[in-house]
A and B are shown apart, each in its own frame.
Chain A
Amino acid sequence: MLTKKVFYKQSKKGTILKIVREHYLRKDIWCGCKGCVKCALEEKDMILDACPVSKCSLLSDPHYIFLDTNAVLDQIDAIEDPYLENIIIPQTVLDEVKHRSSSVFKRLKEVIFDKKRKIYVFVNEHLKATYIERRVGETVNDRNDRAIRKAATWYQEHTGVKSVLLSDDIANREKAVEKGIFAFSLSDYAEATDSATLSERLCAKRWSERRGEDSTDVFPAHLPPAAVHHGLKAGLLLQGVFYASKENCLEATVITDKHNVLIQGRASLNRAIDGDTVAVELLPKEEWVAPSNLVIESEEAEDEVKVEREINEEERQVTGKIVAIIHRKWQQYCGILQLSPIKGHTYHLFVPAKRHIPKVRIETRQGEKLASQRLVVAIDGWPRHSRHPQGHFVRALGKIGDKETENEVLLLEHDIPCSKFSDAVLADLPSNDWTITPEELAKRVDLRNIIVCSVDPPGCTDIDDALHCFKLPNGNYEAGVHIADVSHFIRPGTALDKEAALRATTVYLVDKRIDMVPDLLSSNLCSLRGGEERLSFSCIWELTPNAEIISTRFHKSVIKSKAAMTYEAAQAIIDDVSDESELAQSLRGLNTLAKVLKKRRMENGALSLASPEIRFRVDSETHEPLEVVSKKMRETNSMVEEFMLLANVSTAEKILEEFPEVALLRRHPEPPPANFDPLIKAAHHQGFEIDISNSKKLSESLDKAIKPNDSYFNVMLRILATRCMLQAVYFASGVTQRSEFFHYGLAAPLYTHFTSPIRRYSDVIVHRLLAACIGADATYPDLMDKRKTDKLCQNLNYRKRMAQYAGRASVALHTHLFFRERIENEEGYILFVRKNALQVLIPKYGLEGTLLLSSKDKKNPSPFVFNNDDHTQRAGDIVFHAFDRLVVRLYVDRSNVQHERLIMNLVEPSIPGFSVCSLGDLVPTEEEQVPPPQVIS
């Protein structure tokens, strides 16, 4: 049976198209109920119970649950609760959900995949008995609702078991009842069950029906979408992304194409939340203001704070107000509960850990219990009459202050997907006893008899690269880089692939690793462990002793690493002159070549930058940090690095040549000269000139800036230079100008990431491209689509940035844990001089902190004066420049439970009335900075 779907659409050019598609109707679509005699069901398709026992007091008869689209979209948190079972999801609903929200769709699919939940997808759209045509004058929604009811009716007749439709749409429910189907709203249904968690996880949407106590309109109304559209088109409104200020909750910036618009005041902010895409209307020029520079943390006090301030004409910025939210970017937020002062009240305020997210009103009956926990809450909406957005409780993370809990908070705050790998993902893995099949071996180059080894930091379990090198009879060297062949296991389009693409990178925290791919791959099948046969993707060069490339070849191979070494161990072998083994010679060959490569790279203008890197020595039992050690660099580090760079560059050239439109590359844009100002000024003050005309000049002038008596000075210059740089980013070659492909930091015309596919998804894509280049694998449509690649790159860049921040936050967390028990005076250097603070670096801990100079105390004003021209702070005859040495006192301020802060006080040079005394005397001079009276339990 055949029918046609006819619809009209407008193409991108605006052409009106009539689309006709075939739609086949079948008879062989089954009900999925156990023991059904009418359907030719196979065992694996029997998902629903034959007699689904009711768990709800609204209807005691056994019944199947039908979910409506709105119920899924609004209440996915509740649907994820394992309480409800025997659910039928009509395809109509699945398609609608997919169309409306890809994130909810993904979550719904996870739920469906969970066999324990007994959820059956019923392909009603292709079953002849349940397919319906749209009627004249019927909207799509009405038609779909009718299709869902039709499916429910069919089931009732087919199975003899009652169908219950859960829908939040009253009209749909009424029509269902007319047809003899029971229908309830999901919330009513959930509340009539005896599950404790289910009703808590309900979305607060229905709150908008009952207004809060203070039902006056707090906010101006948003414009309707059509008006916004016209406003944008006519240029009366601007569209941009809303960034809330981290210091002042009544201030924000909207970054539009034209201006960065300042937003001030509650009414102007008009319910926008950080990350939202909003429409702003600019205020008349007379009303423009300047950023307040004030720190306002508490929302309650805010109204009283009305600052009378002279506004300098130059300081005035483009100011506007928000008139509509175009796209909400609400996430789940973590934070703590601020209990309602009224005892027994079920409405509480949730305080997000991110300070720029407003407090959220939630309803929970477990308030007392949750008060000491970190929670995750989702925002449901923000009605005009409510001062706070309304949300619902999602889950509790654990006790406040626990390292585990805090770690989880950290991951959530950085939007790092860290849930366990779902069953769907795990199903895509090879079996535990996977071995290389002879067919696979036949397709690959067998390199098992070549001396290959890997060199990594100690304790590394995800080894993605290995090397080999030997002398050829003609005097040249053959050197090879072997990368774990992850793309062999992660096939495009699988759940595993999608998950990896979403995660994009493995995240390294101080005491934890959040893998991009499941452990079986990352630490076993893909890890090039010593003595085990592994699949790899090899890049092999013939190099002259002068490290000139004669030829490059790529192939998939099988290797058997002779040794998985640490940098230290490899260094020892190289240094041991008596060791003449093949392995030692191989390493020495690599080392010699690497030195030449590095020298050449430096000559080309590659930058050698620095960032303070430290490691914690963690107690093996308590996992509390014991000691901080900075990372050591050895020759072998640079040896591995050089070959990885070489492999990456060679790969970049190859894939760009073969796929000029869709090669995934990495570029590092040259920073604008203004970025270097602080560096130039700081170095100038110390008597050095930094030339920033190109990377080579910069590199040279950095090399020259050495103070013989201060070895740390050069490192600091490099740290500063690093701060001047822009972020390196992934991009698709087809959507970027060729002139922008350059990698500034490495001084390479082309660059990509090829060498760490276990922990970076970019490398997986590059592997696939390279495999397609050499005919070892097939391409697939998404790989050949430059728009899709571009979109992927955006996610990769975002995740990478977040992973970096999370890594830093993790270090900060451990630093806090470390300093909880101590107060120390340490030597530090000024990195930057700011208007009201000094940015201080403590080399010993690689730690950076802010030393506040301004004073909030009106009676006791700050003695410092800031000079904007040479970036100095002056107090009396003491002047602070960048790179000046200080001694500061470090301790943790635990007064704010949400934000424990590491506080720095100045010890030396001593400034009366500001600095603190030597370590013996622990009375700080300013009251705010008193460490709180010990641990809060």
Chain B
Amino acid sequence: MVRLSPEEKIYIIHGVEDNIREDGRSQTQYRPIEVETGIIPSAMGSARVKLGNTDVIACVKADTFTPTWNKPDEGKLQLHVDLSATASPWFEGRRGEQTSEEITTILNKAYESIKLESFCIVPQVKCWLVDVDISVLSCDGNMYDAIGFAVKAALATTMVPKIVASEEDEGEKELQITDDPFDTWTPNVSNIPCLVTLSKVGDSVMVDATNKEEQCSSFTCILAVTETGKILSTFKVGPGSVQPVTFSKLILEASSIGRSLHSELLSALKKENGLRKREIHGFLN
């Protein structure tokens, strides 16, 4: 990570305030977002998201578990973040693991309030436990938005073999996966949020901050926004504070940005789905 001098910081801050950022974007403009799903064929669902030079892969693996008595029909969604040393030498060894754990905790909090009734197979007997592993391969700011995008894209294209519960007897239900590889279940992602990170620089608020811009931000807040624009959770990273009025403004802003992000993602996925026999390019182009 390159440290900035005070002069550089001032240059960046002024750029944001003037709505012409260092790379020419406006305050609410994202860098080009590239999404490619199915990049890891051995995962049940996967997506790679490139947000400028930020590069994230999310992979889904589903398994079954026996739900607890108080939530008999709720599945689980677990996210795990790994900051690869390829993203920065800073993440090498134990330090990378620690940071990964911190981010994992924050992320899981953000997704905690999602109701997962659609992840239920047989109430009280078996529900889906969906693990999403996220590898951050390259990081140039706004990692959370990229992750949120990748998670949703991966889940939306996940195919899990269906579980067939054979007819009930006096004993337990027997659950088995089908032998037809086309007979699959895809999680309903309509209530899976996108993450929108807003950074306050000087008096202005911007989206999709780069690494450099993040260093100039005095306050950064991440909001989980649903397709309908509802805010599921908010959390703040880094130092700094804001006025309550500013915060309400942030929420309104995030809601509208989130809605448009969702619609763009969904239309992109739809388009991709329409391509028959799509070749997976991954890192080869």
Residues in B neighbouring A226, C-beta threshold 8 A: 166-167, 174
Give the contacts of A767-825 with B (CB-CB under 8 A). Answer: none
Q: Which residue of A lies closest to B182 (CB)?
A: A136
Tell me, in angstroms, the Cα distance from A136 to B169 when the chains sit together.
Answer: 31
Instruction: List chain A residues, Cβ under 8 A from B62.
Output: 16
Binds A, one of B26-34, B37-45, B230-238: B37-45
Interface size on B, residues (CB 8 A): 23
CA distance A870 to B258 in the complex (A): 94
Is B160 a contact partner of A16 (Cβ separation < 8 A)? yes
A20 at the B interface (CB under 8 A): yes
Say whether A234 faces chain B, with CB atoms less than 8 Å apart: yes
Interface size of A by CB at 8 A reads: 26
Q: Once the chains are docked, how many angstroms separate the CA of A18 from the CA of B38? A: 13
List the A side residues contacting B174 at CB < 8 Å: 226, 229-230, 233
Q: Which residues of A contact B172 (CB under 8 A)?
A: 233
Give the nearest-CB partner of A236 in chain B: B170
**B166 and chain A: residue at smallest CB distance:** A226
Residue A134 lies at the interface, judged by CB distance under 8 Å to chain B: yes
- Chain A 126-155: CB-based contact to B (< 8 A → 1; otherwise 0): 000000001011111000000000000000
Q: Which residues of A contact B61 (CB under 8 A)?
A: 18
Chain A residues 209-268 with CB under 8 Å of chain B are 226-227, 229-231, 233-234, 236
B contact residues around A19 at 8 Å (CB): 42
Bitwise, B134-173 to A at CB < 8 A (1) or not (0) is 0000000000000000000000000011000011011110
Q: Are A230 and B169 in contact (CB under 8 A)?
A: yes
Interface centre among B44, B160, B161 (most CB of A within 10 A): B161
- Expressed in whole angstroms, the Cα–Cα distance for A8 and B63 within the complex equals 12
Nearest neighbor of A226 in chain B, beta-carbon distance: B166
> Out of B63, B166, B167, B169, which one reaches A15, CB within 8 Å?
B63
Given A16-B63, A136-B182, A137-B182, A10:B169 Cβ within 8 A: no
Complex Cα distance A229/B171, Å?
Answer: 10
Interface residues of A in 557-592 (CB under 8 A from B): none
Check A8 against B41 for contact (C-beta < 8 Å). no
Q: Which of B44, B176, B182 contacts A18 (CB 8 A)?
A: B44
**The residue from B43, B161, B169 contacting A16, defined by CB atoms under 8 A apart:** B161
Taking the closest CB of chain B, its distance from the CB of A491, in whole angstroms, is 36
Contact B161 A8 (CB under 8 A): yes
Contact B169 A8 (CB under 8 A): no
Chain B residues lying within 8 Å of A140, measured Cβ to Cβ, are 179
Q: Is the CB of B63 within 8 A of A20?
A: no
Residues in B whose Cβ lies below 8 Å from that of A230:
169-171, 174
Quick one: which of B169, B171, B176, B181 contacts A7, CB cutoff 8 A? Answer: B181
Cβ-based interface call for A6 (8 A):
yes
Say whether B64 faces chain A, with CB atoms less than 8 Å apart.
yes
Q: Does A328 sit within 8 A of B, measured CB to CB?
A: no
Q: Across the interface, do A16 and B181 meet the contact criterion of CB distance under 8 Å?
A: no
B177 at the interface (CB under 8 A from A): yes
Q: How far, in angstroms, from A230 to B63 measured CA to CA in the complex?
A: 23
Alpha-carbon distance A4/B182, docked complex (angstroms): 14
Contact with A along B177-188 (1 / 0, CB 8 A): 101111000000
**Which residue of chain A is the closest to B159 with respect to CB atoms?**
A18
Task: Judge whether B180 and A16 touch: CB under 8 Å.
Answer: no
* SS of B interface (majority): loop
CA distance A709 to B63 in the complex (A): 79
Q: How far is the CB of B60 from chain A (nearest CB, A)?
A: 10
Q: How far, in angstroms, from A603 to B174 measured CA to CA in the complex?
A: 59
Please give, as numbers and ranges, the residues of chain A lying within 8 Å of B177 by CB-CB distance.
Answer: 8-10, 16
- The residue in B42, B166, B174 that gathers the most chain A C-beta atoms within 10 A of its C-beta is B42
How far, in angstroms, from A137 to B181 measured CA to CA in the complex? Answer: 9
Within 8 A of B (CB), among A113-133: none
Q: Which chain B residue has the least Cβ–Cβ distance from A233?
A: B171
How many Å lie between the Cα of A9 and that of B178 in the bound state? 9
Q: Mark B182-217, 1 if CB is under 8 A from A, else 0.
A: 100000000000000000000000000000000000
In the bound complex, CA of A665 to CA of B167 (Å): 47
Chain B residues positioned under 8 Å from A138 (CB to CB):
180
A136 to chain B, nearest CB (A): 4
A234 adjacent to B63 (CB under 8 Å): no
The interface residues of chain B lying within 8 Å CB-to-CB of A8 are 161, 177, 181
Residues of chain B with a CB closer than 8 A to A231's CB? 169
Residues from chain A with a CB closer than 8 A to the CB of B64 are 14, 16
Contact A4 B41 (CB under 8 A): yes
Query: In the assembled complex, how far is the CB of residue B273 from the closest CB belonging to chain A, in whole angstroms?
Result: 15
Please give, as numbers and ranges, the residues of chain B lying within 8 Å of A137 by CB-CB distance: 180, 182
**Complex alpha-carbon distance, A8 and B176, angstroms:** 11
Residue of A nearest to B42 (CB): A20
- Centre residue among A10, A134, A226, A234 by max chain B CB count within 10 A: A10
Q: Which residue of B lies closest to A234 (CB)?
A: B171
Q: Would you list which residues of chain A between 1 and 42 have a CB under 8 Å from chain B?
A: 4, 6-10, 14-16, 18-20
**How far does the alpha carbon of A227 sit from the alpha carbon of B167 in the complex, in Å?**
10
B41 touches A6 (CB 8 A): yes
Q: How far is the CA of A233 from the CA of B173 in the complex (A)?
A: 10
Chain A contacts for B161, CB-based, 8 A: 8, 16, 18
Q: What are the interface flags for A690-725 relative to B under an 8 Å C-beta threshold, 1 for contact and 0 otherwise?
A: 000000000000000000000000000000000000
User: Which residues of chain A have C-beta atoms less than 8 A from B171's C-beta?
Assistant: 230, 233-234
By beta carbon, the residue of chain A nearest B44 is A18
Residues from chain B with a CB closer than 8 A to the CB of A20 are 41-42
Q: Which A residue sits closest to B170, measured CB to CB?
A: A234
Question: In the complex, what residue of chain B is closest to A235 when comparing beta carbons?
Answer: B171
Nearest CB on A from B256, distance (A) = 38
Give Cα distance in the complex from A15 to B61, angstroms. 10
Residues from chain A with Cβ under 8 Å of B43 in the complex: 18
When chains A and B are docked, how far (Å) is the Cα of A227 from the Cα of B171?
A: 11
Report how far A233 CA is from B166 CA in the complex, Å: 13
CA separation between A310 and B87, bound complex, in Å? 87
A-B pairs with beta carbons under 8 Å apart, 18 shown: A6-B41, A9-B177, A14-B64, A16-B64, A18-B161, A20-B41, A134-B182, A138-B180, A139-B179, A226-B167, A227-B169, A229-B174, A231-B169, A233-B171, A233-B172, A233-B174, A234-B169, A236-B170
Q: A226-B174, A227-B169, A233-B174 are in contact. List 17 more A-B contacts (CB 8 A).
A: A6-B41, A7-B181, A10-B177, A15-B63, A16-B62, A16-B177, A18-B161, A19-B42, A20-B42, A134-B182, A136-B182, A137-B182, A139-B180, A230-B171, A234-B169, A234-B170, A236-B170
Closest 4 CB pairs of A and B: A234-B171, A230-B169, A8-B161, A136-B182
